[in-house]
Amino acid sequence: MFKDILNSKFGQYQAFTRRKVVEDQLISRGIKDGQVLEAMEKVKRHAFVDDYLRTRAYEDQPLPIAEGQTISQPYIVALMTELLALKGGEKVLEIGTGSGYQTAVLAELAKEIYTIEFFQSLAEKAKTVLAAEGYSNILYRTGDGAAGWPDRAPYEAIIVTCAAASVPKALFEQLADKGRLVAPTGLEGSQRLMLYTKTGAEIKETFITEVRFVPMLKAGGLED
């Protein structure tokens, strides 16, 4: 009984905190898309971090997860999602499931999410949390996301949450016509968040902002 009251109070407090995140971290920095803001207010970031970080889940920064990886900063998740300009009917490919937090935000806004994670342990944990949070429009794979997920291509939107020197060619090939791809590119210390839009065979690129992401891995080293 007492535990129920405590849990419900904790839930109210987290919901209040998320409203503050939307105002103080997102709207104030220029995130405008109402659907993105709504999804960011709804998705429980605290469900995607380890217990010891639960009270810090809504801080304005990335936080550590297992395998030396990170859960992205809320603002970066909102920014990348907004850049994809999702309308609801899309198939989205995500490279780097990590905690599954970004995946949840995408699952709120698109039809089907195909997500690939390098580490099996992270993929399994994310899958468990996302199922517990009620998402049923996500498909999971473990392995090197640089090859994409060709048998389900094309994707109207592709999001990469780990940085390689350049975006793997396979991902552009799997992007639908008029599709949008968001990815951090470059080496540690000087990464650039880029938006790529595809029209026919042509890819247009737009520099968005400087960012810091974990590197894209491949068996035996880093992706080039």
Catalytically annotated residues: 72
Shortest Å, Cβ 59 to ligand SAH: 14
Shortest Å, Cβ 29 to ligand SAH: 18
DSSP characters over 165-180: SS--HHHHHTEEEEEE
User: Site for ligand SAH (CB under 6 A): which residue of 33, 43, 145, 184?
Assistant: 145
Segment 181 to 210, residues that bind ligand SAH, using CB under 6 A: none
Scanning the chain, the segments in alpha helix (DSSP H) are 2-21, 34-42, 74-84, 101-109, 120-132, 169-173
Q: Which token pair is 160?
A: 């990469």
- Say which residue the tokens 């905190």 belong to: 17
Shortest Å, Cβ 118 to ligand SAH: 4
Binding segment for ligand SAH (CB under 6 A), chosen from 26-34, 139-147, 150-158, 174-182, is 139-147
Decide: residue 170, CB within 10 A, 0-12 exposed, 13-18 middle, 19+ buried.
middle
Q: Nearest-CB residue to ligand SAH?
A: 98
User: Site for ligand SAH (CB under 6 A): which residue of 122, 129, 167, 194?
Assistant: 122
Binding segment for ligand SAH (CB under 6 A), chosen from 99-107, 149-157, 171-179, 185-193, is 99-107
Per CB under 6 A, does 74 bind ligand SAH? no
Q: Distance between CA 192 and CA 189 in Å, rounded?
A: 10
Q: Tell whether omega for the bond before 168 is within 30 degrees of 0, i.e. cis.
A: no
Binding segment for ligand SAH (CB under 6 A), chosen from 26-34, 111-119, 128-136, 185-193, is 111-119
Per CB under 6 A, does 119 bind ligand SAH? yes
HSE value, Cβ hemisphere, 13 Å, CA-based, for 98: 32
**CA separation (Å) from 84 to 77, 94, 156?**
11, 12, 9
Residues near ligand SAH (CB under 6 A): 67, 69-72, 95-96, 98-99, 101-102, 116-119, 122, 144-146, 161-162, 214, 216-218, 223
